Structure 1
């Protein structure tokens, strides 16, 4: 017996619904991780996505699977930025560009700082990208020190510290977050340099920064 037209459409509709559920879960998880960090609960993510917890675990059986889906693009961006920076003739220029790029990625996905330092054992492709980016960055560090441009006591662990500080600026500065973040990164790059010469990016206007911080506090109070 030939299947009816409705029967032929049903699997396609189910696939479409499943993809929409997946997209909603990823979007809700990205927002939750940005707001609460990677400790955000899967139950709250499922509620925000408008799906049941069983649906979430059907799409993402482990928390690592969910993290991999959320941070896949950002991790690839970080890896590509590190590899491109490592190809620069001046290691200091490459180092500076990579730090600026990673902090820019963090502005779009604020849970990324935590993800960058995690080990994704079961998400092999994500872990490969993380390790490849880290290897390129550590190579840049050694080359920049050999050039005499990067201070000798800088370690790879200083980057997550910068990202934690940048996360605070991004969370607090509201509309002025982009300018405030660039200013912070400029300050930190000067601190990392053996002989700082680059001028700082301009600071946000005081009134703009204050307005942004006030709006951000009000938004946080309203959501709480």
Structure 2
């Protein structure tokens, strides 16, 4: 009977990812093995080379999970503000996880733009369309004023990306804003707009 693996592939990749994000693509397999609590031999039994381990650990999801969430929330009976806060939180969580990976991949000299342009529908575009569709559904229901639905979709996605980018660059210490407060504030601004209505 085969001995059970001391560490799952998922846990091993989580440990490797954390080391690469902390130390960059130059992190050693010795560092990764120590973080994972295994020997370097175990690493190389699972992944033949450090490059193979790097690509597996830093792999980007084939599509953003929040695309499916946006479609599901379009059918959700909760108030619009509450649903948008759920969607914004999912966007923020996604970008907080993905942006550090992208930064390390770029540091390793990997050109993601070439890969994206070869896809029939790149994941970011699919995600944008899902959020735009959400706003379109809300317009048809009379809960959002008639504007190009891609505009509020881009505003929401961009706002969450910005917060995650500040965190990844260590800039949140200079302009601190708790994530939950940021989500509520961003959703409020998008829903209300920023122009003060004047009496006619």
TM-score bucket (shorter structure): 0.5 to 0.7
Higher helix proportion, which one? 1
Give a deviation string over 1:121-177, Cα, whole Å, max 9, x none: 69xxxx998776544222113334553359764342651443232453585668xx8
Q: Give the number of aligned pairs.
A: 165
1:193 Cα deviation from its structure 2 partner: 1.8
The 1:65–1:79 alpha-carbon spacing in structure 2 relative to 1, beyond 3 Å, is: farther
The 1:99–1:82 alpha-carbon spacing in structure 2 relative to 1, beyond 3 Å, is: same
Q: Distance in 2 between matches of 1:83 and 1:195?
A: 24
1:32 Cα deviation from its structure 2 partner: 3.9
Higher relative contact order (CA 8 A, sep 6+): 2
Give a deviation string over 1:54-87, Cα, whole Å, max 9, x none: 567438737554334x768x954x3443232122
1:29 Cα deviation from its structure 2 partner: 0.3
The yes-or-no answer on 1:140 pairing with 2:140 is no
2:88 maps to what in 1? 99
Taking only aligned residues, the RMSD between alpha carbons, in angstroms, comes to 4.7
Q: Distance in 2 between matches of 1:150 and 1:93?
A: 20
Q: Distance in 2 between matches of 1:104 and 1:71?
A: 14
The 1:30–1:164 alpha-carbon spacing in structure 2 relative to 1, beyond 3 Å, is: farther
**Post-superposition, which runs of at least 4 consecutive aligned residues in structure 1 deviate over 6 A?**
118-122, 127-131
2:162 maps to what in 1? 164
The yes-or-no answer on 1:24 pairing with 2:20 is no
The yes-or-no answer on 1:49 pairing with 2:47 is no
- TM-score normalized with structure 1 length: 0.49
1:88 maps to what in 2? 76
1:192 maps to what in 2? 190
Q: Which runs of 5+ in 2 are unaligned?
A: 34-39, 103-111, 195-200
